Amino acid sequence: MINKKIRYWLFVILILILILLCICILAICTGSAGIPVKNIPDILLTGKKTAEYNILLGIRLPRILLGIAIGGALSLAGTLLQGMFRNPLVEPYTLGISGGASLGVCLNIIFKWYAVLGVIAYPLSGFLGAVLVIALVYTLSMKTGALKTNSMLLIGVMISFISSSLVMLLMAVSHSEDLQSIVFWIMGSLDEPNMTMIKIAVFGALAGLIFSYFFCLDLNALALGEEEAMHLGVNIERTKRILFIIASVLTGLSVSVTGIIMFVGLIVPHFMRITVGSDHRILLIGSFLAGASFLTLCDVLARTVISPLELPVGVITGIIGGIVFIYVLSRKRVVL
């Protein structure tokens, strides 16, 4: 029975990897400058600084890497939070992390900190805003040394509303050029030219996946309830704190680099839970790979739907994610 389950898990992982590879090939070939698949090896191996070479290595490959990292990170964060809260409708942005990051970036744009710090000001201000919200939610949720998940969820939702209201206030009093920058950032985009930020996103997402696997069995136990998990030997408070930190850092990193990309952390873990079950030994890696594929595919659509113009990828994920989620809920009951 165990061998059969392992074989099934390996089959699922293999299928997800193949889907991701196919989507990456589609992404690297698709664009206003169509490049056939058969020409890509010659373009890359010759090393000549042609226009096609610059397009592949300077534009499309970085976007693919960022899509894999951010999609995987958001899906992984959603899986961790849904397992911790035992609620399939929780997503990374529920805790107000995106609101804090948005507020930080809005302040950066309005006060023009980017004129002093350069391009790094956008991800830095977004990450600092996310960290402040994380610290605030964590502090207010602590009661008598215990992390109350219900309080954390309510506090996060309220902080998200407050942050969104402050962002709208800043947008109302900002100049037109600042308003355009704020709106474009809020809608999310994988157009990040800084390779250092892309590397940080990739290594951060992989580190989050590795660290989360140390708690896959604890997440399985938490699915039974906190009392049952405690009887099974799980240190409830320590596990919740670490899972909250991992999910928050993954979300804060994602939002600070690409802006707000909705529904990836909600629909992908939910869909994978229906597909492969609620065992986090397969659910974590499955959600990571599926999230990477989903966001990379959405970025291809964002670049091609109204080509040569480009849509924000957050718009595509919101539309597709919302439609798919409504369809799934109408066909099957919510599963945890």
Q: What is the pLDDT of residues 93-120, one digit of tens each?
A: 888 887 888 888 888 888 887 777 776 7
Assess if residue 254 is contained within a domain: yes
User: Does 14 or 251 have the greater pLDDT score?
Assistant: 14
Q: Give me the chain's average pLDDT, please.
A: 83
The answer to whether residue 335 scores a pLDDT higher than 50 is no
Q: Decide: residue 287, CB within 10 A, 0-12 exposed, 13-18 middle, 19+ buried.
A: buried
Query: What is the pLDDT confidence band of residue 146, given thresholds at 50, 70 and 90?
Result: low
**pLDDT at residue 207 in the model:** 94
Q: Which helix (H) or strand (E) holds 146?
A: strand 146-147
In-domain check, residue 336: no
pLDDT at 334: 47
Within 8 A by CB and 6+ apart from 226, the residues are 236
On whether residue 221 sits in a domain, the answer given is yes
- For 233-259, write each residue's pLDDT tens digit: 888 888 888 888 898 888 888 888 888
* C-beta of residue 257 within 8 angstroms of C-beta of residue 192: yes
In a domain, 19, yes or no: yes
Judge whether 216 lies within some domain. yes
Closest CA to 283 of 296, 274, 293, 292: 274
Count the domains in the chain: 1
88 belongs to a structural domain:
yes
Domain CATH for 108:
1.10.3470.10
Q: Domain range spanning residue 290?
A: 2-331
Does this model's pTM top 0.85? yes
> Per residue in 21-78, pLDDT tens?
999 999 888 876 667 777 777 766 776 677 777 777 778 888 999 999 999 999 999 9
User: Whole-angstrom Cα distance, residue 202 to residue 183?
Assistant: 25
pLDDT value at residue 2: 61
pLDDT in tens, 200-225: 889 999 999 999 999 999 999 988 88
